[in-house]
Structure 1
Amino acid sequence: MNPLAELEFRIGQILDEYQTPGAVIGVLHRGEVTELAYGVQDITTGEPVTSGMVFQCGSLTKSWTALAFLQLVDEGRAALDEPVQSYLPHFQVADPAVSAQVTPRQLLNHTSGIEESYGDPGEDDDVYGRMVAAIVDAPQVSPLGSVHGYSAALGYAILARIMEVIDGKPWHRIMTDRIFTPMGATSTHAWREEVEPARAARGHLIRSLDEGPIPTPVDDLPRAFGAGGGVTSTVRNVLALAHVYLHAGLAPNGQRIVSATAIREMMTSRVPIPDPYTLGREWALGLVVDNWHGHDVYGHDGSTIGQNARMRILPDDDLALVLLSNGDSREGRHREIFDLIFTRLGTATIPPLPVPDPAPTLDPARYIGVYERPGTRFEVTSEHGHLQLHLDVDPMQAAIMCTPDRITHDLLPIDDTHFLLPPNTPLEDMQTAAIFGFHDGRAQYIHTNARLHPRES
């Protein structure tokens, strides 16, 4: 019997409330797989979503790529703590010490601190070699190994290039040969040209509740994001990935993908996340780690321009939950659906966000200033003692989404480094941020949405 049958109608209501065109939900619980499909794959055709629909995984790709790299570690052909230069002798960034010392572990857990300054490397098979060659002048966002700061593309592109040099083939072929085929994930691909168009969900954006979802104007991410965001998959195949993590390296078909030692290393090698409320408290190797009411929870999220993926793994309950969708990315939707399912299965639910401190005694001078990286600029200001965060929106994003050029949020303190950012519109969720790293009485970083932004010098 389908353990979620009584929830199907309510889940459909939630997806409708968030105007999600289509979604597939998969649950792996004590060896049993349940799949639920909703909506349409493309609002212009009305073709219904099926459980075998292929969705873009976005940054959930990193959990696939990390697994392939750890397979090389198992074979003794790579090591987590050897310098990248051991595999790429010409690897170089602006800081000579970082060039010589940065390791795969630091790329996997996003503590390399290297700026994403790789230009336009194109769409050919040599994209990762071009990215590595282009970063000779890339500066440091933060000192090597000092703090977590999410790398959307570059960190895993460097890992992909190491894999290519070791295996002598392009990254997408490595993924097929090492991971997808052995584990039976025949509907999973690392190169968009291999996806059957008839099975592929189309992405959608929501610019206003009145307008509703519209087809995305950008069907695919640039290939530079491949190793960190280019995998496409079905919900059952993503559950197979979760099975590997749940069962010490074994796929559902019984094939060993990596050793139990590798899985243990991936789950236990962790660094703290400055903002622990958005995704989780710690970042492991290709996984985010949180703790829900005393239970460790692992997973990864992913978004492209119009599609979204969520994976959560709860080892204490032998449980994995996956949600793939082709529309709105608001976190509230995932929380509602996940908590509904977790409650039905009698396991831990997602902890609520903390409440703001009703009587803060913060000195605004410690926080005000500009925090900036290429393409992203935040400014913290204070008016009558109340802090605000202003984001200068990327012009292309503002044009696509019809948003203002500058978005302002109040900063409601949780404590002296963590803040809530209340939503301004119904299309926004409550967000969180950390403003921290005080030096000479002033914060040095903003960490929000997993990204790190240093104070303007």
Structure 2
Amino acid sequence: MSFTHAELEKKLAELIESHHVPGAQLAVLDGDSIIEVAAGVLSLRTGSPVTTDALFLPGSIGKLYTATLVMMLAEEGLIDLDKPVRTYLPDFEVRDQHARDTVTVRDLLSHTSGFDGDVFLDTGRGDDALERYIKEIADLPQIASPGTIWSYSNSGFSVLGRLIEVVGDTVYETALRDRLLTPLGLQHSVVFPEDVIPHPNSVGHVPDPDDRESYVVSPVWGLFRSCGPMGASLVASAGDVIRFALLHLDGGVTADGTRLLAADRVAAAQEPQIRLVDDTVLGEAWGLGWILDHFGDVAVIGHDGNSLGQNAFMRVAPEQRFGFCLQTNVESALSMYRELAAWLFEGQLGVVPRQDPAPLPSRVVTDASRYVGTYRREGLAFEVDQAEDGSLTATIKASHAAAEMQDLPPMDDLPLAPVERDQSFLLKLPISDSDLLAVFFNPDDDSAAPTYLHFGGRAHKRVVV
């Protein structure tokens, strides 16, 4: 079946009401058609209605644009994905010298660099923002050897942004605009906050500190310029995000027939580079920039994005030319996304997204001491403890800049609910509207005590037992 504009509009309105989301935008791709609908308000402060041409912050969906720019330079022979980053950025430094010398461009694209990745730094508004950022992360610690495990790395994409600047003799935002947004004819996509002003645009919403059940407008709109290649530069409508995705569904050719990428390079970007352990949070594997998954027997690609009080999701089935982009103006809309994805894909293709493993009837954990300890990455630490009843709890301490801007609530003694999968638990954060899968693992020996905790797409290294 195909969805009508009225059906999609009605469903989106129902979803924002049931999930308490101020406003949302939805674009659905069906063959060669894109249907765009909107519901709710852009801001609880102004009450301005969401329109289909309004601009949201797609967040890390913008990493796909960065990855595409890298692949365009690779196609021109200016970058070899399998050469070390220092081939092109001789001043690139991280704390571990072996990692510094061996991390490849492919490692950065597939989040397998092994160095910590959520470093958000204000290095100014100038054209040297990325150059200064690279200097500031020279002491970034390593949590694993390059190419060994997957751990989502925002910092890695700012390194890629600087790579684009140096190899392409430009600045990142100019490359994004001139090499992608303009050739694709994206009328509702911009790269700087001041470019947003002529357009209707959404603001983020965060829980009211005095009433966590209510929302207030986020006091900060976007991240720093140095975070641009992570996805912070892109401001776009949901429809434009889908129009960008069509470049990768159409073998690298734009709507007017211009070729931006070779078909074999587009296909290679959708080939698995590494499998994920927490595979119900994002997907089952990662490509060159892309989340790779299956809904039933249907291959799906996409990406999610978080900004300050905004949350976006994009999934498309390339072979069936079906998919969607959902943009919302709350910081966590995972449960809304999951309900919408199931409704759309089951109605159109008879499949649904993969589900979390079912919780076990008891929270008592056999050999709970096996997991107790501190697991850490840059800017965030998990303290896993055993409760008196034999269950496990997690206390989370966030110290990175984005956490400070979000004014996060305490996250103490959160229950870890064991599920029907070894060494896996469901954990719900007070800032999230949905449980997320937490997986303990040891990449060297599955039977040994875990050396990492994977949660929210990030690996946290065990530092205290």
Deviations 1:345-388 (A, max 9, x none): 23422122221345887422221100112321101112343222
Query: What is the letter of the counterpart of residue 159 of structure 2?
Result: I
Query: What is the letter of the counterpart of residue 254 of structure 1?
Result: G
Query: What is the letter of the counterpart of residue 455 of structure 1?
Result: R
SS in 2 for 1:45: coil
Query: What is the letter of the counterpart of residue 143 of structure 1?
Result: S
Q: Given that residues 61 and 305 in structure 2 are in contact (C-alpha distance below 8 angstroms), is that contact kept between their aligned partners in structure 1?
A: yes
Aligned residue runs from structure 1 range 383-422, under 5 A: 383=387, 384-394=389-399, 397=403, 403-404=409-410, 406-421=412-427
The alpha-carbon deviation at position 168 of structure 1 amounts to: 1.2
- Give the equivalent residue in structure 1 for 2:384: 380
What is the rounded CA distance, in whole Å, between the counterparts of 2:319 and 2:361 in structure 1?
36
Aligned residue runs from structure 1 range 234-249, under 5 A: 234-249=237-252
What is the rounded CA distance, in whole Å, between the counterparts of 1:140 and 1:451 in structure 2?
13
Once the two structures are overlaid, the 10-residue window that deviates more, 69-78 or 7-16, is 7-16
TM-score of the superposed pair, with normalisation by structure 2 = 0.91
- Give the equivalent residue in structure 1 for 2:34: 33
The alpha-carbon deviation at position 4 of structure 1 amounts to: 4.5
SS in 2 for 1:186: coil
> Cα distance 1:416–1:84, how it changes in 2: closer, same or farther (>3 A)?
same
Query: What is the letter of the counterpart of residue 141 of structure 2?
Result: P
- Give the equivalent residue in structure 2 for 1:140: 142
- Give the equivalent residue in structure 2 for 1:220: 222
> Cα distance 1:8–1:407, how it changes in 2: closer, same or farther (>3 A)?
farther
The alpha-carbon deviation at position 242 of structure 1 amounts to: 1.4
Deviations 1:21-80 (A, max 9, x none): 211110111101111111111222222111101111100010111011100111111111
Aligned residue runs from structure 1 range 192-271, under 5 A: 192-207=193-208, 212-230=214-232, 231-271=234-274
> Cα distance 1:119–1:58, how it changes in 2: closer, same or farther (>3 A)?
closer
- Give the equivalent residue in structure 1 for 2:456: 449
SS in 2 for 1:419: strand
Q: Given that residues 25 and 321 in structure 1 are in contact (C-alpha distance below 8 angstroms), is that contact kept between their aligned partners in structure 2?
A: yes
The alpha-carbon deviation at position 254 of structure 1 amounts to: 2.4
What is the rounded CA distance, in whole Å, between the counterparts of 1:10 and 1:386 in structure 2?
39
Aligned residue runs from structure 1 range 28-107, under 5 A: 28-107=29-108
Query: What is the letter of the counterpart of residue 369 of structure 1?
Result: G
Query: What is the letter of the counterpart of residue 307 of structure 2?
Result: T
Q: Given that residues 122 and 225 in structure 2 are in contact (C-alpha distance below 8 angstroms), is that contact kept between their aligned partners in structure 1?
A: no
Is 1:365 matched with 2:369? Answer: yes
> Cα distance 1:260–1:329, how it changes in 2: closer, same or farther (>3 A)?
same
> Cα distance 1:35–1:398, how it changes in 2: closer, same or farther (>3 A)?
same
Q: Given that residues 25 and 51 in structure 2 are in contact (C-alpha distance below 8 angstroms), is that contact kept between their aligned partners in structure 1?
A: yes
Q: Given that residues 248 and 260 in structure 1 are in contact (C-alpha distance below 8 angstroms), is that contact kept between their aligned partners in structure 2?
A: yes
- Give the equivalent residue in structure 1 for 2:436: 431
The alpha-carbon deviation at position 210 of structure 1 amounts to: 7.2
SS in 2 for 1:335: helix
The alpha-carbon deviation at position 333 of structure 1 amounts to: 0.7
Query: What is the letter of the counterpart of residue 150 of structure 2?
Result: H
Q: Given that residues 118 and 135 in structure 1 are in contact (C-alpha distance below 8 angstroms), is that contact kept between their aligned partners in structure 2?
A: no
Q: Given that residues 111 and 153 in structure 2 are in contact (C-alpha distance below 8 angstroms), is that contact kept between their aligned partners in structure 1?
A: yes
What is the rounded CA distance, in whole Å, between the counterparts of 2:19 and 2:180 in structure 1?
34
Match of 2:295 among 292, 296, 303: 292
> Cα distance 1:4–1:350, how it changes in 2: closer, same or farther (>3 A)?
farther
SS in 2 for 1:344: helix
Q: Given that residues 223 and 307 in structure 2 are in contact (C-alpha distance below 8 angstroms), is that contact kept between their aligned partners in structure 1?
A: yes
Off by >6 Å, runs of 4+ in structure 1: none
The alpha-carbon deviation at position 399 of structure 1 amounts to: 9.0
Identity of aligned residues (%): 31
Once the two structures are overlaid, the 10-residue window that deviates more, 285-294 or 345-354, is 345-354
Query: What is the letter of the counterpart of residue 207 of structure 2?
Result: I
> Cα distance 1:295–1:50, how it changes in 2: closer, same or farther (>3 A)?
same
Structure 2 unaligned blocks of 5 or more: none
Q: Given that residues 110 and 148 in structure 1 are in contact (C-alpha distance below 8 angstroms), is that contact kept between their aligned partners in structure 2?
A: yes
> Cα distance 1:344–1:118, how it changes in 2: closer, same or farther (>3 A)?
closer
SS in 1 for 2:319: helix
Say how many residue pairs are matched.
455
What is the rounded CA distance, in whole Å, between the counterparts of 1:353 and 1:264 in structure 2?
29
Once the two structures are overlaid, the 10-residue window that deviates more, 249-258 or 82-91, is 249-258
Is 1:315 matched with 2:318? Answer: yes
> Cα distance 1:330–1:82, how it changes in 2: closer, same or farther (>3 A)?
same
Query: What is the letter of the counterpart of residue 286 of structure 2?
Result: W
CA RMSD of aligned residues (A): 2.4
> Cα distance 1:426–1:451, how it changes in 2: closer, same or farther (>3 A)?
closer
> Cα distance 1:86–1:50, how it changes in 2: closer, same or farther (>3 A)?
same
> Cα distance 1:133–1:249, how it changes in 2: closer, same or farther (>3 A)?
same
Structure 1 unaligned blocks of 5 or more: none
